[in-house]
Amino acid sequence: MMDIIKYPKKEDWGRLLDRPLQDTGTLDNIVLPVLADIKMNGDPAVRKYIRKFEGACPDNLMVTEDEIKEGVRNTYPELKNAIDRAYRNIESFHRAQYKGVKRITTAKGITCWQRSIAIEKVGIYVPGGSAPLFSTVLMLAIPANIAECNDIIICSPAGPDGKLHPAILYAAYISGVSKIFKIGGAQAIAAMAYGTETVPKVYKIFGPGNQYIMAAKQIVAMHDVAIDMPAGPSEVMVIADSDTPPEFAAVDLLSQAEHGPDSQVMLLTTHPEIIKRVSREVKRQLELLPRREIACKSLENSKMIVLSDDDQIMEMVNEYAPEHLIIATKNAEELAEKVINAGSVFIGIYTPESAGDYISGTNHTLPTNGYAKFYNGVNLDNYVKKITFQQITEEGILNSGNSIMIMAEAEKLDAHKNAAGLRLKYLRKEK
């Protein structure tokens, strides 16, 4: 089912590590008119596209207080308890990322510092579909709350009953979300980017979604808002050796494969003998999976690769730049030190990727499609702007003013030069 490749030549790595191709050009053509219409016409256009793409449009786009209370009530205690645990872990990991003011005296009389200030308004997209992704709410709203963003809004398509899943409402409720709207698709992205009569404009949009959502996010990111990151299909790379229980390797591959038919899963090993055992386990477990059709398709894009040593393994990891990297080998900690490009790393046989999706505390919104070479997953930084401040004393400008003048003159910016020059003159006259 998964391709098995043994000791590939270096010149074939590029092709081997290629992601399944996505055609993005046609998406823009579908999404652009939706964005333009909503920018111009607000709520009526939003309702039009909900009817067109999602089916019935709820009378009330905004979730009421009563609906939230109902959701909180209808989330069963066991799930509430699990969500609360996840909340605490995510909260403590993200709060530790907070960095206070740091004042630096860079030169005599010059003090500089950086202050992290929350982005005032953020929007979170929570996909609809078969499963209620309350974990997305936790991952994207908790750091917004820690950062102290003023407005934290959510858009998510309502189900056929016109409601959002109770667990989504519960997660939103405990994470300090201000407003929730029953809007899905590109119309949700447009509503948050431009604002409508009902939906407030936000400054930054977070959250996963299908290709239309992603295309819409990238278009609005060009001039109107920031986004968390571009995204493609989800992926995992698992490094296994003879110490890795084959059922663990198999289930970790499958838990990525079940995300979507375009997910990609890869197994790397220097132990050719484990390939057969892991394959057998994949086949066995797959039969029992409700989402086996999806997983099956995704396994067709996927590969088991045998390499000759750990250096090659880590070279391939860093070239592929996986969203999730599971290192289930005996020397997992040692290999983890050599990771240069990855979204999130799972060390040891008791650290499945699903731990990171829910409970460990790290964020599960991660760079896909090789973007881990230049983006990281969502963290507290994504919710703040780091504004710089500087303050120069009389002594400071007397000491450094001349350097400003020399450099400004060399860059042919005379007013820049005069800005220092006039201050020096003023101070010298005073004395």
Question: By CB under 8 A, what part of segment 263-322 binds its own copies?
Answer: 285, 288-291, 295
Residue 255 binding its own copies, by CB under 8 A:
yes
State in angstroms the smallest separation of the CB of 124 from its own copies: 14
Residue 135 binding its own copies, by CB under 8 A:
yes
Q: Which is nearer to its own copies, 56 or 406 (CB)?
A: 406
Active site residue 247: no
Active site residue 324: yes
As a residue count, the chain comes to 431
Three-state DSSP state, 239: strand
* Interface stretch with its own copies, choices 49-57, 96-104, 177-185, 272-280 (CB under 8 A): 96-104
Binding mask 166-205 for its own copies (x = CB under 8 A): -x-----------------------------------xx-
Indicate which residue of 67, 281, 323, 353 is catalytic: 323
Cα 168 off chain centre by: 18
Site for its own copies in 28-67 (CB under 8 A): none
Indicate which residue of 67, 324, 353, 364 is catalytic: 324
State in angstroms the smallest separation of the CB of 215 from its own copies: 9
Q: Contact with its own copies (CB under 8 A): which of 66, 78, 161, 273?
A: 78
Q: Contact with its own copies (CB under 8 A): which of 63, 312, 346, 368?
A: 346
Residue 247 binding its own copies, by CB under 8 A:
yes
Spell out a b/e string for 246-261, using b for 16 or more CB atoms within 10 Å of the CB, else e: bebbbbbbbbbbbbbb
Residue 403 binding its own copies, by CB under 8 A:
yes
Q: Which is nearer to its own copies, 5 or 413 (CB)?
A: 413
Residue whose token pair is 């111009």:
40
Count, residues near its own copies per rule CB under 8 A: 129
Q: Contact with its own copies (CB under 8 A): which of 27, 68, 353, 368?
A: 353
> How far, in Å, are 206, 237, 294, 313, 427 from residue 250 at the CA level?
31, 12, 16, 19, 74
State in angstroms the smallest separation of the CB of 52 from its own copies: 26
Residue 144 binding its own copies, by CB under 8 A:
no
Residue 354 burial by CB count (10 A; 0-12/13-18/19+): exposed, middle or buried? middle
Q: Contact with its own copies (CB under 8 A): which of 145, 269, 344, 368?
A: 344
Distance CA 265, CA 406 (A): 57
State in angstroms the smallest separation of the CB of 261 from its own copies: 14
Residue 402 binding its own copies, by CB under 8 A:
yes
Which of 125, 129, 165, 130 lies closest to 141 in space, CA to CA?
125
Residue type, 174: I
Q: Residue 165 in contact with residue 134, Cβ under 8 Å?
A: yes
* Interface stretch with its own copies, choices 6-14, 48-56, 74-82, 187-195 (CB under 8 A): 74-82
Q: Residue 242 in contact with residue 331, Cβ under 8 Å?
A: no
* Interface stretch with its own copies, choices 39-47, 83-91, 173-181, 269-277 (CB under 8 A): 83-91
* Interface stretch with its own copies, choices 39-47, 184-192, 304-312, 351-359 (CB under 8 A): 351-359
Instruction: Write the CB contacts of 52 (distance below 8 Å, at least 6 apart in sequence).
Output: none
Which of 206, 241, 226 lies closest to 127 in space, CA to CA?
206
State in angstroms the smallest separation of the CB of 216 from its own copies: 12
Calculate ∠ Cα 24-29-35, nearest 5°: 110
Residue 131 binding its own copies, by CB under 8 A:
yes
What tokens appear for 8 in the block? Answer: 């590939």
Q: Contact with its own copies (CB under 8 A): which of 10, 15, 412, 428?
A: 412
* Interface stretch with its own copies, choices 8-16, 60-68, 249-257, 267-275 (CB under 8 A): 249-257
Residue 228 binding its own copies, by CB under 8 A:
no
Residue 427 burial by CB count (10 A; 0-12/13-18/19+): exposed, middle or buried? middle
Cα 292 off chain centre by: 26
Q: Residue 90 in contact with residue 145, Cβ under 8 Å?
A: no
* Interface stretch with its own copies, choices 47-55, 155-163, 191-199, 407-415 (CB under 8 A): 407-415
Q: What is the DSSP letter of 195?
A: -
Q: Contact with its own copies (CB under 8 A): which of 67, 228, 258, 323?
A: 258
State in angstroms the smallest separation of the CB of 155 from its own copies: 18
Please provide the DSSP assignment of 257-309 as one string.
HTT-TT-EEEEEES-THHHHHHHHHHHHHHHT-TTHHHHHHHHHT-EEEE-SS
Which of 7, 16, 22, 23 lies closest to 302 in space, CA to CA?
16
Site for its own copies in 370-399 (CB under 8 A): 371-377, 379, 381, 384-394, 396-397
Question: Could you list the active site residues?
Answer: 323-324
